[in-house]
Amino acid sequence: MKPEPTPQPPAPGVVRFYSFRPEGERLRDDVLAGLALPKKSIPPKYFYDEQGCRLFEAICELPEYYLTRTETAILRGNVAEIAQFIGPDAELIEFGSGVQAKTRILIQALQTRLYVPIDIAIDTLRASSNELAGRFPWLNIVGISADYTRPLALPEFVGVPIRRKAVFFPGSTIGNFTPAEALFFLKQARKTAGTGSVLLIGVDLKKDKATLDAAYADATGVTARFNLNLLHRINRELGADFQVNRFRHKAFYDPVAGRVEMHLESLYSQIAHVAGQRFNFAPGETIHTEISCKYSIAEFQELGKRAGFTPEKVWTDPEQLFSVHGMVAA
Ligand code: AVI
C-alpha cells in the first residue's frame, strides 16, 4: 500500500502520523497459525505491546545486555565520521525506531531536517516522536506505525531539501530475522531508499556462549518477564486462557547455528484455548518466540552485498562485541 503523497511535511515541531496497523498486525491469525505448527512458534514482533515495550527498555539497561550500551558508545565515539559518511541534508528513515535514544545522537550530529521513524508499537512511536520534536525544534517528523517486515512504500516529501536517504536500523534487530528473511528485508530497504542511499545498521557480533546466554537470560528475570508477557498479551487481546505461571522462559545460544533461541517452555501437560481453538502442550514442549542471529563482520558484509549494498565502513568497540555497518545502495 502507498500512503497519500504528502506535499509538505508538517511544520517543524509538529509530528504527523500514518498508521498501517490494522493491515500490518494480524495477531490472531499469526498466533493461531503458529500454535498449529508441529513446532509451535509465535513471531517476535508481537512482544511489543505497551508492557512489552517497557520491558524491552528495561532489558536495554541490564548489565548482562551489553548490546544497547555498546552500540550507543560506538555511535557516540564515531559520530563525526558517521556524519561524514552519511553526508549533509539526508532524510533519516529509522526502522523499529522504539525509544529513539540512539537517533538523537545522529540527529544532533547531522542536523537532520526530516526524520521518518517506522515502528509497529504506535504508543511508543507517538511518545518518543513528540519528545524528539520538543528537543529538536527544527526537525520535521513523520511517524509511520507499520509492520516493517512487510513491503512498505514511504510517502515522498517536498519542501525540505534532501540530498539522499539514510536508513538507520539499530539494535541488531536484523538478527531477529533468519538470514533469508534478513536478505529479503535488506533488499526491500534498498528498494525503499533507492540507489545512492545509505544504510547504517547495528549488528551484534558472534562471541562466546556464556556472554550470550547471560544476555538473554539475565539474573533478575527481566527477559523472562518480557518473553512471558507474550502469553499475557494473548490472554488479554485474544481472550485466551494461558496459565502463564505454568510456562518458563528458556534462552540459549546455539554456536553452530550462530543464533540465540528464545522459547516458552510448558512445565506440565496442559491445555490452552485461544480464540475458541484448543492447543495441547506436553511437559517440556516449547513455543519458539525469537531468534537472535549473530554475525561476523565478513558474514554481514556478504549479506549486504547480496542485497545490493556496497559495504564501506564498519565501526566496532574495543572488545569486538558489536558492529555498526555503513553501506551504500549500489
Ligand atoms: C530487539 N532485539 C534486537 C532484541 C534482541 O536482542 O534480539 C530483543 C530481545 N530479546 C531478548 N532480549 C532482547
Per-residue confidence in pLDDT tens, the chain, 330 aa: 444 445 456 666 556 777 765 444 689 999 999 999 999 999 999 999 989 999 999 999 999 999 999 999 999 999 999 999 999 999 999 998 777 889 999 999 999 999 999 988 888 888 889 899 999 988 999 888 888 877 777 877 767 888 999 999 999 999 999 999 999 999 999 998 899 999 999 999 999 999 999 999 999 999 999 999 999 999 999 999 999 999 999 999 999 999 999 999 999 999 999 999 999 999 999 999 999 999 999 999 999 999 999 999 999 999 999 999 999 999
Residue of 292, 321, 324 with the most ligand 1 atoms within 8 Å of its CB, for mutation: 292
**Which atom from ligand 1 is nearest to the alpha carbon of 251?**
11
CA separation for the pair 120, 4 (Å, rounded): 19
Burial class (CB in 10 A: 0-12, 13-18, 19+), 251: buried
C-alpha cell at 140: 520535521
CB-based contact 183:303 (threshold 8 Å): yes
Question: How big is the chain, counted in residues?
Answer: 330
Quick check: CB of 230 below 6 Å from ligand 1? no
59 close to ligand 1 (CB < 6 Angstrom): yes
C-alpha 172 to ligand 1 mean position (Å): 8
Question: How far apart are the CA of 292 and the centre of ligand 1, in A?
Answer: 7
199 contacts 41 by C-beta, under 8 angstroms: no
Quote the crossing angle between the two packed helices 66-77 and 79-86, to the nearest 10°: 70
Ligand 1 close to Cβ of residue 129 (< 6 A)? no
CB-ligand 1 contact for 175 (6 Å cutoff): yes
With the most atoms of ligand 1 within 8 angstroms of its CB, the residue from 94, 216, 289, 291 to mutate is 216
Nearest ligand 1 atom to the CA of 173 is 3
Residue 125: alpha-carbon gap to chain centroid: 13
Sign of CA dihedral 114, 174, 204, 260: positive
Which residues are CB-neighbours of 231 under 8 A, at least 6 positions away? 240, 242, 244, 247, 264
